[in-house]
Structure 1
């Protein structure tokens, strides 16, 4: 019975060598880093640059209007003070875009 399993295993490996090549069985990955290096330089970096240019162009168009303040009872609820400052503003508070419970701090 052991010879049947060994014979089947040898046939399977021989099939894999024919189908996928010798590197699939031996586990060799020589040159695989070149594909990832090239993808980094020719795909990833240009994509990052294009996204940055898109963000800069969208910002320069001036299309970020602040929404009108409406005092809803379920928005901007402060049940506990923030542990910094006077306790009413969040950590990354923007006085132009983030409203407090009573409205915006500065008028535009």
Structure 2
């Protein structure tokens, strides 16, 4: 009795599955199509509704500024503008080391 290696058994299983032709692909495509409609589309819908509801309840002001010492550390100036604003600075959401621009808390 000869011992057959695992690789040989896997190769035989692969060859026998491949010999079945394209009939095996139709079942897989149908499964993914059903999963797309039953899982993916409702998931995207839930995410859109969640984002819309959060936007409706969001406050339009900047969050309260807390001067944590480990945030907004400037060891050297930025090479653009006044050297204190990041490249994609938004005055409503990005605070400077001294606080938000235009707010006097």
- Report TM bin, short chain: 0.5 to 0.7
Structure 1, unmatched stretches of 5+, are 18-22
Report the equivalent of 2:57. 61
User: Which structure has the larger Rg over C-alpha atoms?
Assistant: 1
Corresponding position: 1:5 with 2:6: no
TM-score by length of 2: 0.63
The TM-score normalised by the length of structure 1 is 0.62
Structure 2: give runs of 5+ residues left out of the alignment: none
Task: Compute the RMSD of aligned alpha carbons.
Answer: 3.3
State the distance in 2 between where 1:84 and 1:98 align. 16
1:30 — aligned with what? 25
Larger relative contact order (CA 8 Å, sep ≥ 6) = 2
Aligned length: 93
